[in-house]
Amino acid sequence: MNAPAAEYLNPVYRRSCPDPFVLKYDGEYWCYFTGIQPDGRCFGLLHSRDLVYWQAVGSVMDPLPGNFPCYWAPEVVYANGLFYLYYSVGNEEQMEIRVALADRPDGLFVDQGKRLTREPFAIDAHVFIDDDGRRYMFYATDFLDHTRIGTGTVCDRLLDPFTLAGSPRPVTRALFDWQVYDPQRQEKGGVRWHTIEGPFVLKHGGRYYQMFSGGNWQNASYGVSYATSDRIESQDEWQQASDGEGSLPVLRSLPEQGVIGPGHNSVVRGLDNQELFCVYHRWQPETAERVLAIDRLDWVGDRLVVLGPSYTPQPMPETPLIAGFEAFTPLSGGWRLEQNASAVWLSGEDALASLFFDCPACVIEINFLLTGQQAPDRFGFGLAASDRTQFEVSLHPETGRLHLKTLSGEQQRELPPDFAAQAVHLLRLEVQDRWVKIFLDDVTVRTSAQIVQTPDALILFNNGAPVRFSGFALARKQGISG
């Protein structure tokens, strides 16, 4: 049996994969990319379990009526059992942003008949969900009366999955020469045209970072940079980090190393749920295609850095200490393990399962959903030390509440009004000695609790209807971003 590879080499997928967006769902990765595919459908789809080895799945959406030639920049957002695919469509001169819906990451997405944007030209939709649960859409549009004419990015509130507030504010418009797309763009009347596009937003240390691609991929100056703001709804444009001379883009062409046109990135958590990876395309001259590459993303102080574009072997993504459910021990009640140990069902009264671990500082992620129509009294997760439960987080679907219990008392939190227990949800626990931080679906519930002893066991429990747990990973805690 061959040992797992210790390194990877970009590109990680050597076929066409322009404008890649990677969704991590239930511990696996799905990459959506631009274009009409050979089968006549729109948007290609790849699948991976480790971010490095990718397999083509097919395509995900039927074309709209009207024979539009351009289907660009898909991005998929998961919420409450549904997958929302935001994309731009048109004839290159006239483009609009729309949304399609599916109930699986690899399902057939169906356009919902909604044009979200009003501008003649709008592309590259990106949805950012803030800590308070508010949703924003960043996208690129044209600024014909700006000092440097061309495409820039804006931000608007997303009132619901299908409706923008209709008050977009400029976030990044061209400021520097490295952002020139064409010094005399004929299709735009011969003007000196600038391009900033492909927004993607992260939050770190209380600040917002919008990554973007700038310039023309055929120029050595082309690349990915970022802009920052203390307020997401700032009335001012965000402060750009790269002027192209004294400070360079975080990703840029390296022609002498064979790296041409790295751009249009997304960012995703790695296998250990801590490392961040910048996912982007770059030009492959041999095949005249944009291919898929990944590199680590991090911060140095408040400066965002990408450890790339890499052209030499890189360490594989860090793996968890424990993944899957083989190491769990059933203690009582019904217990059913999937054949590949990627998921487990608990059912019956007082069903319990436990896992012992030795990691005083760790990050735990696990997915769950209620599989029956009858709501259980409660189900959830506990942390124990010396055979005594130190901390318990439980969900009570009937009352719409989340309970946090320690040896010193109990707290309650309201679940979101639209919380669907029959849909997959993600629980994240960050354990640091005697402190536990709790994240439900990353943004809906964020809180912390103090415990008496450093835990050495994780407990899954259920009272009543069956619950399915999946996507489990426990990793040693590194520096946590966010």
DSSP strand E in 230-323: where? 239-240, 251-252, 260-269, 276-284, 289-300, 303-306, 314-315, 322-323
Residue 452 CB partners (closer than 8 Å, separation 6+): 385, 390, 406, 407, 434
In a shared domain, residues 232 and 310: yes
Q: Which two tokens stand for residue 113?
A: 């008949």
Give the count of beta carbons closer than 10 Å to the beta carbon of residue 243.
15
In a shared domain, residues 240 and 370: no
Average pLDDT over residues 50-72: 97
Residue 338, pLDDT score? 85
Return contacts of 347-352, CB within 8 angstroms, 24+ apart: 347/462, 347/465, 347/466, 347/467, 348/462, 349/463, 349/464, 350/461, 350/463, 351/461, 351/462, 351/463, 352/459, 352/460, 352/461
Beta bridge partners of 141: 122, 152
Is the pLDDT at 481 greater than 60, yes or no?
no
CATH of the domain at 349: 2.60.120.200
Q: How confident is the model at residue 58 (pLDDT cuts 50, 70, 90)?
A: very high
CATH of the domain at 27: 2.115.10.20
Q: pLDDT by residue (tens digit) across 137-183?
A: 999 999 999 999 999 999 999 999 999 999 999 999 999 999 999 99
In a shared domain, residues 35 and 98: yes
Q: Is residue 482 part of a domain?
A: no
Q: Is residue 481 part of a domain?
A: no
What is the Cα–Cα distance from 51 to 268, expressed in whole angstroms? 9
Q: Is residue 291 part of a domain?
A: yes
> Range of 459's domain?
322-476
Q: How confident is the model at residue 308 (pLDDT cuts 50, 70, 90)?
A: very high
Residue 250, pLDDT score? 97
In a shared domain, residues 366 and 281: no
Beta bridge partners of 251: 224
Q: Which of 315, 343, 360 is the last residue of a domain?
A: 315
Give the count of beta carbons closer than 10 Å to the beta carbon of residue 202.
18
Q: Which of 315, 346, 372 is the last residue of a domain?
A: 315
Q: Number of folded domains in the chain?
A: 2
CB of 31 closer than 8 Å to CB of 280: no
Q: pLDDT by residue (tens digit) across 319-334?
A: 999 999 999 998 888 8
> pLDDT over 90 for what percent of the chain?
76
Q: Is residue 2 part of a domain?
A: no
Residue with tokens 């939190």: 413
What is the Cα–Cα distance from 431 to 471, expressed in whole angstroms? 18
Residue 333, pLDDT score? 82
Beta bridge partners of 127: 137
Residue 482, pLDDT score? 40
In a shared domain, residues 246 and 356: no
In a shared domain, residues 367 and 303: no
Strands 239-240 and 343-356: unpaired
Is the pLDDT at 444 greater than 80, yes or no?
no
Q: Which of 315, 332, 354 is the last residue of a domain?
A: 315
Residue 220, pLDDT score? 86
pTM of the model: 0.96
Is the pLDDT at 382 greater than 80, yes or no?
yes
Is the pLDDT at 61 greater than 70, yes or no?
yes
What is the Cα–Cα distance from 435 to 305, expressed in whole angstroms? 29
In a shared domain, residues 254 and 307: yes
Q: Is residue 205 part of a domain?
A: yes
Q: Is residue 300 part of a domain?
A: yes
Q: pLDDT by residue (tens digit) across 32-50?
A: 999 999 999 999 999 999 9
In a shared domain, residues 257 and 332: no
Angle at 239 between CA 23 and CA 135, to 5 degrees: 40
Upper half-sphere CA count for residue 351 (Cβ side, 13 Å): 24
Amino acid identity of residue 305, one-letter, is V
In a shared domain, residues 244 and 375: no
Q: Is residue 169 part of a domain?
A: yes
In a shared domain, residues 409 and 299: no
Q: Is residue 229 part of a domain?
A: yes
Beta bridge partners of 74: none
In a shared domain, residues 294 and 429: no
Angle at 275 between CA 367 and CA 303, to 5 degrees: 130
In a shared domain, residues 310 and 326: no
Dihedral, 452, 454, 460, 464 alpha carbons, nearest 10:
0
Give the chain's mean pLDDT: 93
